[in-house]
Amino acid sequence: MAEGHELAGVNLGGGLPSRHVDPTADIETYSEAIAGSVATHLGPRFGGLMMVEPGRYLVGDAGVIRTEVVQIVRRASDPDRRWVFLDVGLFNGLTETLGEAIRYRIQAPGDGSSTGSVVLAGPSCDSADVLYQTYQYQLPLHLQVGDHLEILGTGAYTSSYSSVGFNGFPPLTSYYLPATAGSGLTS
């Protein structure tokens, strides 16, 4: 390399993404892009150690937030969509929904039945506690107060982002399940 020094390794940072609503390239696509960039910038003979933080790719799908529908309303200003309020929101671990930066996959009871467009919001009285207003999430038309939704791919950062007592709400509760036989994981 430059001036006769050889790099022993390079930390490429991270992290690699997990799956959300929008399609994510497979790990091989990222590997090829990284290898090409390293060859371009460090030379084709670079043989040092490369480190990449796996980030969400490793733990994202390990987490699910189970949330309850606490209110469903129609607003005169938005008559074509239901506003669905959940018992968790922006301040309860879903900070990365701010600006709809991450669009989590959501499972609802009766998936596959007739659906309609919704706005998803959290439980606080804060006007910023709206998770998804621009993206057109579709939830079952028969959805009711008390039904549960599962927000998928929340294994990275949600617990650590949860506020402690914002507007009187407790922090996000975490439950850890042991690895099961055949999962490839050990407990």
Looking at residue 46, its pLDDT comes to 83
Contact 7, 47 (CB under 8 A): no
Q: What tens digit of pLDDT does each residue of 159-171 get?
A: 877 777 777 777 7
Q: Which two tokens stand for residue 13?
A: 């940072």
pTM, two decimal places? 0.81
Answer whether residue 148 shows pLDDT above 70: yes
What's the rounded Cα separation, in Å, for the pair 154 and 121?
17
Q: List pLDDT tens digits, range 90-133.
A: 988 899 999 999 999 999 987 678 999 999 999 988 889 999 99
Instruction: Give per-residue pLDDT as tens, 68-79.
Output: 999 999 999 989
Q: Residue length, the chain?
A: 187
pLDDT tens digits, 23-58 = 888 889 988 998 899 889 888 778 889 888 888 888
Q: Which domains does the chain have, with CATH numbers?
A: 2-59 (no CATH), 63-168 (2.40.37.10)
**Residue 187, pLDDT score:** 44
> Is the confidence at residue 185, as pLDDT, over 60?
no
CA 158/CA 160 separation, integer angstroms: 6
pLDDT at 1 over 70: no
What's the confidence (pLDDT) of residue 160? Answer: 75
Q: Tell me how far apart the alpha carbons of residues 86 and 172 are, in angstroms, rounded to a whole number.
A: 13
Residue 181 confidence (pLDDT) above 70: no
Q: Which tokens belong to 180?
A: 């099961």
Amino acid 183: pLDDT: 58
Helical segments of 10-152, H only: 27-42, 56-59
Report the mean per-residue pLDDT for the chain.
87
Residue 60 to residue 53: CA distance in whole angstroms: 13
Query: How far is residue 7's CA from residue 62's CA, in Å, rounded to a whole number?
Result: 35
| pLDDT score recorded for residue 139 | 96
Apex 70 CA angle, 73 and 74, nearest 5: 5
Q: Which DSSP helix (H) or strand (E) runs through 157?
A: none
Amino acid at 16: L
123, 129 Cβ separation under 8 angstroms: yes
Distance (Å, rounded) from C-alpha 165 to C-alpha 76? 32
Task: Quote the pLDDT of residue 70.
Answer: 97
